[in-house]
Structure 1
Amino acid sequence: MAQQGKQQLRLWLTGIVLLMSCFYSPLRAAEVDSQPCLNQGEKWRLAYYQGGDYRDYYQYLRVTAEGLMEQGWLSPKTIPSQLLSARELWDWLRVNVESDYIEFLSDGFYSADWDREYRAELREQVVGRLQKAGEINLILAMGTWAGIDIAVDKHSVPTMVISVNDPRSAGLVQDDESYRHIYVPEDPQRYERQVTLFHDLIRFETLGVAFEDSFEGRSYASIETIERLAEERNFQVISCHTQSDIADQIQAEQSVIDCFNELAEQVDAIYVTVQGGINNHTTPVLVDIANQHSIPTFSQYGHDEVKLGYLMSLSQVEGFRDEGRLLSHTAGKILNGGEPASLMNVSAEADRITLNLKTAEQIGLYLDAEMLAAADQLYWQIEQP
């Protein structure tokens, strides 16, 4: 009787494990939920790949982890504010956060450190590991470099591409069946809406754009969209080439400052693009250059930079929080068997206009009642980082 009881208990425990497990076989989005589950009785093995350190990568990893905590995939724990990089956060999550479902691999954090030669070597190493069954169950590809390197058809591991400015121009939006394991969120008209709004309000004849003249740099800046709009709307684009994705941060920052000084003498307005040399160190300098020359500026990045002195932007006021919930929900669906490419991956950024009134005053720009009424958020001062 005792032996029979043990067998019944073993069968019951096996049933519970199977009940709480999800077998990864791609399902359409409507067929899956995002509830925590095991990988056939084992934890899901997560990895991460980035081109190098960038301010948003830490934020995206943080809000995704917090979303997974909210959904029960990870035990709730407050993430320390002193963590500064995605690598530090990954190590902290691996050591300090308990989970019955997910393992942050100790050897699963990869960064090319903005070194193009090392990038080629690292890409082959990571793709080779992804080709080994069971080594990695889900990988986060953070940024355009990572998306280009990891969102490929050489492996079939579910891949979430995150924090890519213009995935379509980077070649990351694929309809081919061999890319069904790739999830890429996209807002196709985001930068068209930004530049169109900027031109509607300022009516500039020459638009300055500083960007790195590389495949990735042109994608970050959405240059194809800007050039098309310039032709349609009859304004001229004045370009200045920077260095963005390089290991020498000081050099990247100085290249942007040099370009702003050059553009300020030639253009009516500047579209401030996302790149490695624009950050809390350089933004006050860039704002001073533009404002001293009475040049209206539009932040591609969003309202956080308007707070620091760029004239305006069109972005999500809520910031990363909502995106983190979406990304964690998507990760849950993928681990429940959802086919990454079939999940909802087209988003439309809320059209929320942000203006800095102090900047408008400094550059002598008159904001009429209609423009002020259209703004969703106003900053009355130029804040320091």
Structure 2
Amino acid sequence: MTKVRLCLKLAAGCLLLLWLAVAAGSAGQWQRDYHPSPKAQGGKYRIAYCETEAFANYAATLYNLVQGLAKLGWVTGVEDLPYTPGQKDTQAMWEWLAAHDTGPYIEFVANGYYTYQADPGIRIAVRQAILSRLNHTSDIDVMLAMGTWPGQDLATDAHHVPTLIFSTSNAVRSGIVASDIDSGRDHIWAHMDANRYRRQLEVFHDIFGFKRLGIVYEDTVMGRSVAALEDVNAVAQERGFEVVWRHVDDKTRQGDPKLYVRQALAAHRELAAEVDAMYLTQYSHRSSAMLPELLQPFYDQKIPVFAQQWGNENVNGALLSVSTTDFSGIGRFGAEVIVRTLQGEKPRSLPQVFERTPLIVLNLKVAAQIGWTVPVDIILSADDVYR
């Protein structure tokens, strides 16, 4: 049995123990009464939404939260909610939800959709608008926040509307919550899966035993957070490999959409001469069509590329990913948190940790391109295989 298969079995065992421990407490959250109930003051519970930018993880999370609410009976008629795996757009989903009758309990507020568009200037204006609304209008019962920026802006005592935060790189390191088990504020909750990128890197290293790992990221607070740089450096120190980095200027894409490609390609060509493995971190404005050109320098040198993000990264060129694509699981978990909040529980009192099962995604075409004979156990362990 390969190390990676053993790692996944151990991870699955730990998740099972965690599950049993949770189930033992208070008869288990899955046995809790989630039966829908009307709002005491009459009308529907009103939910608003804010995101950092258009991003596939946010869209997948939102879609699965809605489906989780449907399974709990709190919304109906959402089977045709427009969503395709991998899409980045959440606004079309929100507009659909606001325009359709989703039952007697929850309203997705039509003018309650906000996005920062990854722009610091827009962030300031939108943050002020949301905080003013939450403080003075009192027309929102629950605020959903996707990403680090909205989490940082809304995890504040400047308002007291229940705010549930999803899809941050690490909500503790970002200063959003106090710890994995305590948000630090009664009205704040954030999903925590702090070790997901460490699990990725450990599996990659178990398989390839690389000595020098390349990484490209924007050298800003957000760029370092999205790239999980602290996790990369921590695993490197523990395992004894070197991290070789290059920077790109993400913001300049607004003036020249092709500048990122030129910068990233130049960085990749330099790294291909210095590393024996590459960690392809997330970049929301990088299209899948760019990947073959961007990754070619590594494949010319027979260097494996590991993708931090699932899906198109593997289809279009990355050799391997250990993804966390269990959005249905976080959807159900998050839906329960929403319901318990609507039922009157303080978000701070609710469990924040949900560790998604790691899935191996493998591209056999790329394996052949770099001359890597994939061990049988890796193929058998893979959940998705692209040929």
TM-superposed deviation, 1:119:
1.1
**Alignment partners' CA distance in 2, 1:139 and 1:51:** 14
Distance 1:97 1:309, change over 3 A: farther
Contact 1:34 1:329 in 2 (8 A): yes
Instruction: Report the Cα distance in structure 2 between the residues aligned to 1:259 and 1:337, rounded to whole angstroms.
Output: 51
SS in 1 for 2:107: strand
1:79 to 72, 81, 89: 81
Cα deviations by residue, 1:98-128 (Å, 9 ceiling, x for unpaired): 3211222222111122211221122122112
Instruction: Please name the residue that 2:37 is paired with.
Output: 37
**Which has the larger displacement, 275-284 or 178-187?**
275-284
Contact 2:310–2:324 (CA under 8 A) maintained in structure 1: yes
State yes or no: 1:208 paired with 2:214.
yes
Alpha-carbon deviations, 1:255-303, whole Å to 9, x = none? 4444333322321111111122334232333343432331111111135
- How many Å separate the matches in 2 of 1:253 and 1:55? 20
2:294 corresponding residue in structure 1: 286
Change (3 A) 1:250 1:37: farther
Indicate the residue corresponding to 1:349 in structure 2.
Answer: 356
- Counterpart AA for 2:114: Y
**Which letter maps to 1:345?**
Q
Counterpart for residue 192 of structure 1: 198
- For 1:129 and 1:352, locate their aligned partners in 2 and report how far apart those are by CA, in whole Å: 41
**Residue 370 of structure 2 is aligned to residue 368 of structure 1:** no
302, 314, 337: which one aligns with 2:344 = 337
Alignment deviations for residues 141-181 of structure 1 (CA, whole Å, 9 cap, x no partner): 11112111222222111111111122222222315775221
Q: What amino acid is the match of 2:35?
A: Q
Q: Distance in 1 between matches of 2:114 and 2:253?
A: 15
Contact 2:330 2:356 in 1 (8 A): no
Q: What secondary structure, in the 3-state scheme, does the structure 1 residue paired with 2:289 have?
A: coil
1:183 alignment counterpart: 189
Structure 1's 339 and 108: CA in aligned 2 closer, same or farther, altered over 3 A?
same
Question: AA paired with 2:347?
Answer: P
1:140 aligns with 2:144: yes
* Mapping 1:87-102, distance limit 5 Å: 87-102=91-106
User: 1:357, 1:378 within 8 Å by CA — same for their partners in 2?
Assistant: no
Once the two structures are TM-superposed, the CA of residue 195 in structure 1 deviates from its matched residue by 1.0
1:222-233 maps to which residues of 2 (within 5 A)? Answer: 222-233=228-239
Aligned positions, number: 351
Q: Please, what is the CA RMSD of the aligned residues?
A: 2.6
Matches within 5 A, 1:2-21: none
Do the aligned residues in 2 keep the contact of 1:244 with 1:276 (CA within 8 Å)?
Answer: no
SS at match of 1:131: helix
- TM-score between both structures, scaled by the size of structure 2: 0.82
SS in 1 for 2:366: helix
- In structure 1, what residue type is equivalent to 2:63? R
Cα distance in 1 for partners of 2:201, 2:63 equals 30
* Shift, 1:380, TM fit: 4.5
Q: Percent identity?
A: 31
Cα deviation per residue 1:285-325 (whole Å; 9 max; x = unaligned)? Answer: 334343233111111113553233311121245x4222222
What is the distance in 2 between the residues matched to 1:303 and 1:119? 28
The code of the aligned residue for 1:79 comes to L
1:246 deviates by 7.0
Instruction: Call closer, same or farther: CA 1:281–1:157 in 2, change over 3 Å.
Output: farther
SS of structure 2 residue aligned to 1:282? helix
Cα deviations by residue, 1:25-61 (Å, 9 ceiling, x for unpaired): xxxx979743322322221121111122222222222
Moved more, 299-308 or 214-223: 299-308
- Does the CA-based 8 Å contact 1:252-1:277 persist in structure 2? no
* Structure 1 partner of 2:21: none
1:80/1:348 CA distance change after superposition, 3 Å: closer
Q: Assess if the C-alpha contact under 8 Å between 2:183 and 2:348 holds in 1.
A: no
Deviation for aligned residue 1:334:
1.2
Point out 4+ residue stretches in structure 1 off by more than 6 angstroms. 29-32
**1:221 maps to what in 2?**
227
Q: Which moved more, 1:255-264 or 1:236-245?
A: 255-264
Task: Kindly provide the amino acid, as one letter, of the partner of residue 351 in structure 1.
Answer: P
The equivalent residue for 1:158 is 162
The structure-2 alpha-carbon separation of the partners of 1:229 and 1:357, relative to structure 1 and needing over 3 Å to count, comes to same
- Which residues of 2 match residues 98-117 of structure 1 at below 5 A? 98-117=102-121
Alpha-carbon distance in structure 2 between the residues aligned to 1:130 and 1:140: 13
Amino acid at match of 2:317: G
TM-aligned CA deviation for residue 239 of structure 1: 1.1
Structure 2 match to 1:15: none
CA contact (8 A) 1:49 1:142 kept: yes
TM-score, normalised to structure 1, is: 0.82
Distance in 2 of aligned mates of 1:127 and 1:250: 36
CA contact (8 A) 2:48 2:109 kept: yes
CA distance in 1, matches of 2:60, 2:219: 26
Structure (1 or 2) with the larger CA radius of gyration:
1
* Local SS of the residue matching 2:64: helix
